[in-house]
Amino acid sequence: MSEDENPSHPSLWGALAPSSQGTEPVSALSNPDCQMEVIRNLLGSGLHQESLERSLGLPVDALSHAQLRSGLDSHSQEHFLRLLWILSWANELFEGDLVAAIRWAESPAKALNGRLPVNMTVSADDTERVRCVIARIEHGIPQ
């Protein structure tokens, strides 16, 4: 997965960042306003705040405070992009049902040794493992 690639199923990016339509997600997500819009929309779609904070490598309750006014640091931005990849793939798996995709991503996956897909944002390898699990599900390969 390279930074040039888009983590955006068209309906997912439209739902999460309606004010950034026509802008590449990687570029748009460097803007703190876009980051906050996507965060608000993820939370509004059912993603739990604790899951999002853990995924982004943020301290507990960081999203409840004004700590993010200046935007995410580069470390958290990388995690954010990986999280959006995971949710994009899950959204495709659930045929555009973001709520179902989030519910799946916040559930322990046997194929990931009980880890939550939403928490697999630490490294590109972890995120790739989630992509492989989703591909296996899409092809009916038992987990």
Residue-by-residue DSSP string for 67-128: GGTT---HHHHHHHHHHHHHHHHHHHHTTT-HHHHHHHHTS--GGGTT--GGG--SSHHHHH
* Whole-number pLDDT of residue 61: 84
Q: What is the mean pLDDT of residues 16-31?
A: 88
pLDDT of 17 strictly over 60: yes
pTM recorded for the entire structure: 0.88
Q: What is the mean pLDDT of residues 112-119?
A: 96
Q: Which residues have C-beta within 8 Å of that of residue 76, sequence separation ≥ 6? A: 56, 57, 58
pLDDT band at 105 (very low <50, low <70, confident <90, very high): very high
* Whole-number pLDDT of residue 68: 64
Q: What is the pLDDT of residues 31-86, one digit of tens each?
A: 999 999 999 999 999 999 999 999 999 988 888 765 567 788 899 999 999 999 99
Rounded Cα–Cα distance for residues 105 and 133 (Å)? 11
CB 95, CB 136: distance < 8 Å: no
87: left (phi over 0), alpha (psi -120 to 50) or beta: alpha
Rounded Cα–Cα distance for residues 38 and 100 (Å)? 18
Q: Kindly state the tokens that stand for 33.
A: 């306003």
